[in-house]
């Protein structure tokens, strides 16, 4: 059945015109307008799908992390974690190590959550007493860089192995020369395991993380600690062994403000008894050196920074820190190198004075003598017989440490009567009053006060 035409009133050129049009083909029909809109929408959706697929393809090629993560969430994705290079979850890493008879240590988060360090431990086979597992390897892992939505779909984080560093047992002959020079006697020739790893939390002007590996050697007279200092460089994803260290008093290296530099120094405490001894290292950052951007440079007294420092360094090398510091502080406007040597000596002198203040009686006298405080030690000379007996015994015990100090002091200034007095008293305690008087005659120095103290020390001889 045909539709009746419909008259449409239009104005054309100022005249009213009526035209006939069928209602089913009206230009303003809603159904007629819907078809172009639907077509445009389909085209946009198709274009978006093409762009999306292209972006996914690009990400899968340019970002292997993305490709691996996408492969895990797809229905046909592979979960093979047997290869070392394949990213794994923490549980998979631990299971993989345990399947090879290795024990994973506690995970350490380095510069950021992205970088992690897992030490590999192994139990000793010949422990006659309970002992801690030792570290045989350091494994550096980096978490995958993937989109938050994809990470949420995975449900857990994946880590990829970046570096493996084998950890050899510690040996004392590998210590830096600055520390070997501080040894009183040869230490154990054995290869010693390292059993602990700790990151430093100190704020340092380096982008990475500093780590301390350590172990303990038990001896009859105490514990000796030893280990290594490592640095993790996040820019290069690199682990670097920086320094071997040891401490005869069982302490571990610390970052402390020793010099006037805004950067703290690494301090290894090697003090024994009343003899302060520190290995001090300055941190040097060299960004122009890609392989060794950070180094630890030892502060040393091997060569005087100024010619005027030569007598002072002789005193310092003998352990007479306070007299050495007094001579060095006479320098006007020292260079940076000279100031570093002054600060090094001042650190030892401060420690020596603190030790003397923390002791009493004859032990305080010996602490003062170790530092070259001759006058203060004479002022503390005991008046009671029991204390004189104790002092004589201590002078005998420490004579091998004290006599070189007296000789160094007199080599710099031969007219120090207080140092001469103590030289005679030390010799008298060690080998008798006659040897002490013979030594005094060679020094062309004697006094009634010295003879009185020699007599008191002789009377204190329990024999």
Residue 55 pLDDT grade (very low, low, confident, very high; cuts 50, 70, 90): very low
pLDDT in tens, 355-414: 999 999 999 999 999 999 999 999 999 989 999 999 999 999 999 999 999 999 999 999
pLDDT at residue 222, as a whole number: 83
Residue 303 has pLDDT above 90, yes or no: yes
Q: Residue 15's beta-bridge partner residues?
A: 12
Lowest mean pLDDT among 169-183, 231-245, 257-271, 306-320: 169-183
Residue 190 pLDDT grade (very low, low, confident, very high; cuts 50, 70, 90): confident
Q: Residue 210's beta-bridge partner residues?
A: 231
How large is the average pLDDT for residues 152-169? 82
Question: β-strands 294-298, 278-285: how paired?
Answer: antiparallel
pLDDT at residue 328, as a whole number: 96
pLDDT at residue 78, as a whole number: 53
410 contacts 420 by C-beta, under 8 angstroms: yes
pLDDT in tens, 310-354: 999 999 999 999 999 999 999 888 899 999 999 999 999 999 999
Lowest mean pLDDT among 9-18, 20-29, 228-237, 434-443: 20-29
pLDDT at residue 210, as a whole number: 95
DSSP letters along 250-271, please? Answer: S---EEE--SSSSSPEEEEE--
Q: What CA–CA distance (Å, rounded) separates 212 from 207?
A: 17
pLDDT at residue 285, as a whole number: 83
Q: What CA–CA distance (Å, rounded) separates 243 from 199?
A: 15
Residue 2 has pLDDT above 70, yes or no: no
Q: Is 241 helix (H, G, I), strand (E, B) or coil?
A: strand
- pTM for this entry: 0.80
**Where along the chain do its domains lie?**
62-166, 175-300
271 contacts 351 by C-beta, under 8 angstroms: yes
Lowest mean pLDDT among 155-164, 194-203, 212-221, 430-439: 155-164
Name the more confident of 20 and 198.
198
CATH node for 175-300: 2.40.128
Residue 175 has pLDDT above 90, yes or no: no
73 contacts 150 by C-beta, under 8 angstroms: yes
How large is the average pLDDT for residues 436-460? 90
pLDDT at residue 30, as a whole number: 54
pLDDT at residue 413, as a whole number: 94
Distances from the Cα of 261 to the Cα of 208, 277, 289, 337, angstroms: 20, 21, 22, 11
- Average pLDDT score, the chain: 83
96 contacts 104 by C-beta, under 8 angstroms: no
How large is the average pLDDT for residues 3-32? 59
Name the more confident of 439 and 28.
439
pLDDT at residue 219, as a whole number: 81
């Amino acid at each position: 059945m045909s539709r009746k035409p419909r008259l449409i009133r239009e104005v054309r050129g100022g005249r009213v015109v009526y035209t006939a049009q069928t209602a089913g083909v009206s230009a303003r029909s809603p159904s007629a307008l819907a078809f172009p809109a639907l077509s445009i929408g389909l085209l946009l959706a198709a274009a978006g799908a093409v762009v999306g697929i292209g972006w996914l393809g690009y990400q899968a090629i340019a970002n292997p992390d993305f490709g691996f993560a996408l492969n895990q969430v797809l229905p046909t994705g592979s979960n093979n974690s047997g290869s070392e290079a394949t990213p794994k979850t923490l549980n998979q890493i631990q299971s993989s190590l345990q399947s090879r008879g290795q024990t994973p240590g506690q995970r350490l988060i380095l510069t950021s959550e992205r970088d992690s360090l897992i030490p590999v431990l192994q139990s000793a086979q010949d422990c006659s007493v309970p002992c801690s597992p030792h570290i045989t390897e350091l494994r550096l892992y980096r978490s995958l860089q993937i989109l938050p939505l994809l990470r949420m779909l995975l449900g857990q984080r994946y880590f990829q192995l970046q570096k493996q560093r084998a950890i050899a047992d510690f040996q004392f002959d590998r210590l830096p020369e600055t520390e070997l020079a501080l040894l009183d006697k040869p230490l154990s020739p054995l290869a010693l395991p390292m059993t602990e790893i700790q990151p430093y939390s100190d704020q340092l002007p380096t982008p990475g993380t500093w780590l301390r590996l350590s172990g303990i050697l038990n001896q009859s007279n105490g514990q000796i600690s030893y280990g290594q200092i490592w640095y993790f460089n996040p820019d290069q994803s690199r682990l670097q062994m920086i320094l071997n260290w040891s401490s005869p008093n069982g302490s571990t290296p610390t970052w402390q403000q020793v010099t006037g530099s805004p950067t703290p120094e690494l301090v290894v405490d090697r003090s024994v008894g009343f003899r302060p001894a520190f290995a001090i290292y300055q941190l040097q950052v060299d960004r122009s050196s890609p392989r060794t951007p950070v180094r630890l440079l030892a502060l040393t007294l091997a060569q005087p920074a100024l010619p005027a420092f030569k007598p002072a360094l002789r005193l310092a090398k003998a352990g007479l820190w306070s007299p050495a510091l007094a001579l060095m502080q006479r320098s006007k406007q020292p260079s940076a190198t000279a100031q570093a040597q002054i600060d090094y000596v001042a650190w030892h002198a401060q420690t020596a004075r603190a030790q003397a203040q923390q002791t009493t009686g004859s032990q305080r006298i010996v602490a003062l003598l170790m530092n070259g405080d001759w006058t203060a030690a004479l002022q503390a000379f005991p008046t009671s017989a029991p204390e004189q007996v104790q002092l004589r015994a201590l002078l005998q015990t420490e004579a091998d440490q004290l006599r070189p100090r007296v000789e160094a002091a007199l080599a710099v200034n031969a007219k120090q009567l207080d140092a001469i007095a103590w030289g005679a008293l030390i010799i008298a305690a060690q080998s008798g009053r006659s040897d002490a008087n013979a030594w005094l005659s060679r020094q062309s120095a004697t006094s009634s006060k010295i003879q009185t103290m020699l007599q008191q020390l002789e009377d204190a001889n329990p024999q």
